[in-house]
């Protein structure tokens, strides 16, 4: 094992000596090779940044497109109607109140007055109270567990 390590060191040393000798013998080619390596590194970094920027822009466009589609369609719920929905997650209103988030045919409904013991994925009954200004979501009240 020690002999293999020593052999690898000799080969590496010989290779380094050869590269240093070539650099000293060909200073013009060294500058060109160095410029090529720097150019390649800059190109790789630039391509990665452009691809990342494009991915972020694509996500923004998809989100905006979904928002536009939601704004252009009629809400699938009506004020005063009752629905049975599954709780997808919880959010906190700016007043500090905990709201359940549910969907009816992909339409977001924020449910208020939910009990603290309510868990994600539970099925509940709700009554729709109002829509937001653009009718892209609704507010409902909790009626009970289904």
| Domain ranges, residue 49 | 2-71
Domain end among 51, 71, 91: 71
Domain end among 16, 49, 71: 71
94/121 same-domain check? yes
25/47 same-domain check? yes
Residue 49: φ, ψ to 5°: -65, -40
Tell me whether residue 76 is in a domain.
no
Low-confidence ranges of the chain (pLDDT < 70): 1, 4-5, 8
Tell me whether residue 40 is in a domain.
yes
67/97 same-domain check? no
> If we measure between CA atoms, which residue out of 85, 96, 95 comes closest to residue 138?
85
pLDDT at res. 5? 64
pLDDT at res. 20? 73
pLDDT at res. 50? 87
89/121 same-domain check? yes
CATH code of the domain in which 133 resides: 2.40.50.140
* Edge-first strand listing for the sheet containing 98-104: 82-86, 123-131, 137-145, 107-112, 98-104, 89-92
pLDDT at res. 63? 84
């Amino acid at each position: 094992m020690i002999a293999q390590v020593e052999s690898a060191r000799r080969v590496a040393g010989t290779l380094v000596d050869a590269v240093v000798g070539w650099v000293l013998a060909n200073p013009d080619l060294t500058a060109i090779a160095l410029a090529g390596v720097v150019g390649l590194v800059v190109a790789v970094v630039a391509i990665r940044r452009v691809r990342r920027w494009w991915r972020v822009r694509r996500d923004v466009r998809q989100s905006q497109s979904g928002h536009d589609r939601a704004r252009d369609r009629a809400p699938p719920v009506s004020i005063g109607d009752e629905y049975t929905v599954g709780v997808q997650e919880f959010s906190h209103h700016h007043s500090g109140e905990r709201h359940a988030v549910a969907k009816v045919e992909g339409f977001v409904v924020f449910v208020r007055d939910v009990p603290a013991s309510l868990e994600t994925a539970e099925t509940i009954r709700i009554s729709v109270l109002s829509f937001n200004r653009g009718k892209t979501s609704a507010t409902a009240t909790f009626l009970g567990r289904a």
